[in-house]
Amino acid sequence: MDRIIEITLIGLLSGVVGTGTGGLLAFFINEKSSRLLGFVLEFSAGLMLAVVCFDLLPEAFSLGGVSLSCWGVVLGTIMIIILDDMVKRIEYVKKSITNNVLLKTGVLMAIGISLHNFPEGIAIGSGFEASMKLGLSIAFVIAVHDIPEGMAVAVPLRAAGIKGSKVLMLTILSGLPTALGAFIGVLLGEISSGIIAMCLGFAGGAMIYIVCSELIPEAKRVNSGRLSSIGNMIGILAGIFISFI
């Protein structure tokens, strides 16, 4: 039981520290910082892709085979697509509730990121069930990944005139579901190595979809210059380094 609590706390720290740091950095971000934000987004995208492809999925393949792991990838992708559709429906409702576009954007980002953080928490929990090294690697990568997500929540809320302490609190709260995901990932992983492989594949699919459908397109929207692409390459190299140390 103590081990489950420890891993859940690591999941909590990974989510909260990441989004909280992003919330703090948002107070130093302005329109002139678009190149930096684009770089950070692409860096976190490359980092996530590398760890998933060179560490998380190979571990899943060794534990449960390619077929079982790939089914996990498919299920993880489907879950994220469903969550994205839920957020879009919430956005439709919000349009009829408030005219404050910036406030609405910030709240929607917080909801969307909270939903995405749950399968990322599963990655942490099931990662620790596979090995201590994999669990710590995933926790670190998700914390880095959550920094630009925290920015994405805080920047519009700050621009909408929301008090700084409330902005920071909302960004921190959006990281909490990571702890719940880590807790469930550990419990599922204790059943069998095949379940660990499914959970790792599930988390890998969710993370790849987030990178390809959200992080990279958002980075290009923020800044379409070469610096963003360089950030992606540096992130991939950093992820490879983390995977093999």
CA angle 216, 125, 8 (to 5 degrees): 110
Which of these, 40, 49, 48, 8, lies nearest to 21 by C-alpha position?
A: 40
Which of these, 58, 17, 43, 2, lies nearest to 231 by C-alpha position?
A: 43
Q: What is the pLDDT of residue 49?
A: 85
**Mean pLDDT over each residue of the chain, to the nearest integer:** 80
Name 104's Cβ contacts closer than 8 Å, sequence gap at least 6: 91, 94, 95, 98
Q: What is the pLDDT of residue 9?
A: 92
- DSSP element (H, E) containing 154: helix 132-159
- Please count the residues of the chain: 245
Residue 143: Cβ within 10 Å count: 24
Strands (E), the chain: none
Q: What is the pLDDT of residue 148?
A: 74
3-state secondary structure of 39: helix
Question: Quick one: what percent of the chain has pLDDT higher than 90?
Answer: 4
**Mean pLDDT confidence for 22-35:** 72
More confident residue, 125 or 94: 125
Report the C-alpha gap between 193 and 64 in whole angstroms. 6
Report the C-alpha gap between 76 and 143 in whole angstroms. 20
pLDDT at 37 over 70: yes
In this structure, the dihedral spanned by the alpha carbons of residues 147, 153, 158 and 159, taken in order and rounded to 10 degrees, is: 120
Q: What is the pLDDT of residue 33?
A: 64
CB contact at 8 A, 73 and 208 = yes
Report the C-alpha gap between 161 and 165 in whole angstroms. 12
- DSSP element (H, E) containing 91: helix 57-95
Q: What is the pLDDT of residue 87?
A: 65
3-state secondary structure of 115: helix
DSSP code, position 225: S
pTM of the complete model? 0.73
- DSSP element (H, E) containing 158: helix 132-159
CB contact at 8 A, 22 and 151 = yes
Q: What is the pLDDT of residue 100?
A: 55
Tokens of 84: 């994205």
Q: What is the pLDDT of residues 83-120, one digit of tens each?
A: 777 766 665 555 544 445 556 666 666 776 777 788 77
Helices 34-51 and 193-210 sit at what angle, rounded to 10 degrees?
A: 160
Q: What is the pLDDT of residue 135?
A: 86
